[in-house]
Structure 1
Amino acid sequence: MSTSMSVARSLPGGPVAEQILAEVAQEVTQLRAAGVTPALATVLVGDDDASVGYIRIKQRQAVQLGFASPHVRLPASASQADLQAVVTQLSADTSVHGVLVQHPVPPHLDFDRAMQALDPEKDVDGMHPVNLGRLTLGLPGPTPCTPAGIEALLAYHEVPVAGREVVVLGRGATLGRPLAMVLAQKRPTANAAVTVVHTGVPDWPRYTRRAEIVVAAAGVPGLVRPEHLRPGAVVVNGGVRYAGRRLLPDVDESCATVAGAMTPRVGGVGPTTVAMLFRNAVRAARRTRSSRTPVRLPDSGAPAGR
């Protein structure tokens, strides 16, 4: 007698990103018609192949959306003072609305210290201490891109979040901790009961096995396996590492035999993260325009669904 094995419903990020970027493009068109060309500046230190590739993708997307895309490239030997001088200069440049410092920087540089030299209003990553404070207090401001993208992805695919138990596996400053704050906020696409655990907790599977939604954000390839999940759980793979150009996710692909829905290994959270970067950038340009002469633009929040 043959047995069939269920396979989780896929939760691709591509369609979500397309919807968000379409809204961004509309806002860019209206801003340009009002005399403002949104500008997203990028800063790259060194020659890391992955970082060079990321910057190239973001610049190409910026051009397609109608952004100006000034770029500063510093050698790997650049000093902390060199990096901070560039960030300070871009912060003071009124023609630049958003600034992205590509992470990681060479090990002799302090990324967080460089970020503190950035005007929080131009922080498109949402990682400036001021903006993380705004997130904690529930105040308006740029939201970290990957957490915002995950909220939008779940909303687009009509995955109920409000009132459900979410376990975030990972406590990093760029994903785990801010995501917990994002999904706990009181709005229809969040409002969850969120638990944050990490690999320093010996019995972390005890938490993931009870969760209705699991977000892997540890950066440990293959960490989450089928036996760590509640049957039918929604699984979001947010943590990845790279071996050369190969992407190594936290969630083993065999989890698709237990999960009810799951983001794909490639094309899941990544596209939504990039889309949120540009949403933060166009909102920064909108704020600049609003401080001069108000212009009515649609507010592009998390997609409500398909």
Structure 2
Amino acid sequence: MNIDGKLTAKNLRAELAVEVAELKSNYGIQPKLTVILVGEDPASQVYVRNKIKQTQEIGMISDEIKLPADTGQEELLKYLEHLNNDRNIHGILVQLPLPKHIDESVIIAAINPNKDVDGFHAMNSGRLFNGETGALVPCTPQGCIMLAKQHLGSDLSGKHAVVIGRSNIVGKPVAMLLLQENCTVTIAHSRTKNLPEVCQQADILVAAVGIAEFVKADWVKEGATVIDVGINRISTEEGKTKLVGDVDFDNVVGKCGAITPVPGGVGPMTIACLLKNTITAAKQSVC
């Protein structure tokens, strides 16, 4: 069974559109997201366009600040200071990756944590770790949990979840969210011994390792729910390229209980959860 990320994201956006309308009606607030794009990376440009388009479709305000690739770190910090102080802006997103001469950790730390809709600021990471309400949680991990619940239902208690990957963007935060759902969580990575055997224990397997078709069918427990976060472009025998995940989809799909396809799985949920975070930030600004 395929878990339809496009449909789930569409349904979430419909719910968020209602929340946007209520914020405008009750408080006179229209949630606003500002995206900063440094350089001209083609993939980032497409991603930013999609973010802005979907933001506007549900009634939010969205704008983009395009900066040349040679923009200095101090100049970028000045832009962030201005956005932090603008009460009409509720969400700030700096599109990653940044040019190599800019320290991403410095830029992330400079974003007002209450406007950090990517959820990468140390303040939001700490809130998530402590299980506090009101944290702005990274978007892709939020989407992973929603997609797992689409198949397994709202109660994930007692499930054994294995997360392959330990990044601050996906691996660690999705593990924290799974713990909050009362799962037993194992975080695995490239140096985990007997990785296939570890994965075979998973009721929920989250693959976020960044290696094309890394997870094989014999790694997957019969009937497991597989959430594939990977986006990898590979060459085909016809000399073309295609997108694949971190899971060997064609061989795993017949063994697992449900799986997110690539594309069309986790990806659409990431943008939908970005909109959700911006609305959360707008709500918190009036509460």
Please give the per-residue CA displacement for 1:220-260, whole angstroms capped at 9, x wherever unaligned.
11100111111221111012234598423101112112212
Distance change in 2, residues 1:69/1:152 (3 Å): same
Equivalents in 1 of 2:148, 2:15: separation in Å?
18
Q: Is the contact made by 2:55 and 2:61 (CA closer than 8 Å) also made in structure 1?
A: yes
Q: Is the contact made by 2:213 and 2:246 (CA closer than 8 Å) also made in structure 1?
A: yes
Please give the per-residue CA displacement for 1:194-238, whole angstroms capped at 9, x wherever unaligned.
000001224211100121111101011110011111122111101
User: Which residue of 170, 176, 187 maps to 1:181?
Assistant: 176
TM-score normalised by the chain length of structure 2: 0.93
Q: Which structure shows the higher helix fraction?
A: 2
1:237 matched to 2:237? The reply is no
Equivalents in 2 of 1:280, 1:154: separation in Å?
19
Q: Is the contact made by 2:148 and 2:225 (CA closer than 8 Å) also made in structure 1?
A: no
SS in 2 for 1:10: coil
User: Which residue of 11, 20, 28 maps to 2:20?
Assistant: 28
Aligned residue for 2:120? 127
1:249 matched to 2:226? The reply is no
Aligned residue for 1:269? 266
Q: Please show how residues 1-306 of structure 1 align to structure 2 within 5 Å.
A: 9-33=1-25, 34-140=27-133, 141-159=135-153, 161-185=156-180, 190-242=181-233, 246-253=242-249, 254-290=251-287
Unmatched 5+ residue regions in structure 1? 1-8, 291-306
Task: Output the amino acid matched with 2:69.
Answer: A
Deviation at 1:43? 0.4
Deviation at 1:175? 0.5
Equivalents in 2 of 1:246, 1:209: separation in Å?
28
Distance change in 2, residues 1:81/1:242 (3 Å): farther
Distance change in 2, residues 1:243/1:82 (3 Å): farther
Deviation at 1:180? 0.5
% identity of equivalent residues: 38
Please give the per-residue CA displacement for 1:250-297, whole angstroms capped at 9, x wherever unaligned.
01112112212111121101111111110110111111122xxxxxxx
Equivalents in 1 of 2:92, 2:242: separation in Å?
28
SS in 2 for 1:41: strand
Deviation at 1:84? 1.4
With 105-114 and 37-46 compared, the bigger mean Cα shift is at 105-114
SS in 1 for 2:117: coil
Aligned residue for 1:3? none
Deviation at 1:89? 1.3
Equivalents in 1 of 2:272, 2:115: separation in Å?
16
SS in 2 for 1:90: helix
Aligned residue for 1:4? none
Q: Is the contact made by 2:228 and 2:262 (CA closer than 8 Å) also made in structure 1?
A: yes
Q: Is the contact made by 2:5 and 2:264 (CA closer than 8 Å) also made in structure 1?
A: yes
Q: Is the contact made by 2:231 and 2:262 (CA closer than 8 Å) also made in structure 1?
A: no
Task: Output the amino acid matched with 1:16.
Answer: T
Equivalents in 1 of 2:125, 2:59: separation in Å?
28
Distance change in 2, residues 1:242/1:78 (3 Å): farther
Equivalents in 1 of 2:84, 2:9: separation in Å?
28
TM-score normalised by the chain length of structure 1: 0.87
